[in-house]
Amino acid sequence: MIGALAVLLTFQLVGEIAIRWSGVPVPGPVIGMLLLFLTLHWRKSLPASLRATAETLLSHLSLLFIPAGVGIVRYGALLAEEWLAVTVALVLSTLITVAVTALVMQTVIRWRRGAPRDG
């Protein structure tokens, strides 16, 4: 489990380094996750230790919401002042996430069925 956790953290670090080097306005962990996905896709297999570690982390995912909750309590007054901008950002980002997820799901379903890609 320690080795698999080291792999996950290494990909996160590589993502952070890539972002700081390139200046792209994307969080480093997102780039690290993309690199991990591409690596696993290229290898065409998922090591059992990495699967077990990822499942363990996902089972405790709710703990990661505690800092966000503390931030809401800590900056409640600021959020009250900027409620409209926060609401618009939340609604738009949710809609974009749903749309991108739907497109990715359609692509994965077509890919798994072996259908040719459009475009």
**116: helix, coil or strand?**
coil
Residues 76 and 109 in one domain: yes
9 and 50 share a domain?
A: yes
Provide the pLDDT confidence category of residue 30 given band limits of 50, 70 and 90: very high
* Averaged pLDDT for residues 1-27: 92
| pLDDT tens sequence across 67-115 | 888 988 999 999 999 999 999 999 999 999 999 999 999 999 998 888 5
Domain boundary among 22, 43, 59: 59
Domain boundary, last residue among 59, 88, 105: 59
The rounded distance, in Å, linking the Cα atoms of 69 and 64 is 10
Query: pLDDT at residue 19 above 70?
Result: yes
Residue 33 and residue 52 share a domain: yes
Show the domain range for 71: 65-119
Report which DSSP code applies to 25.
Answer: S
Structural domain tally of the chain?
2
Same-domain check for residues 51 and 97: no
Say how many residues make up the chain.
Answer: 119
48 and 83 housed in the same domain:
no
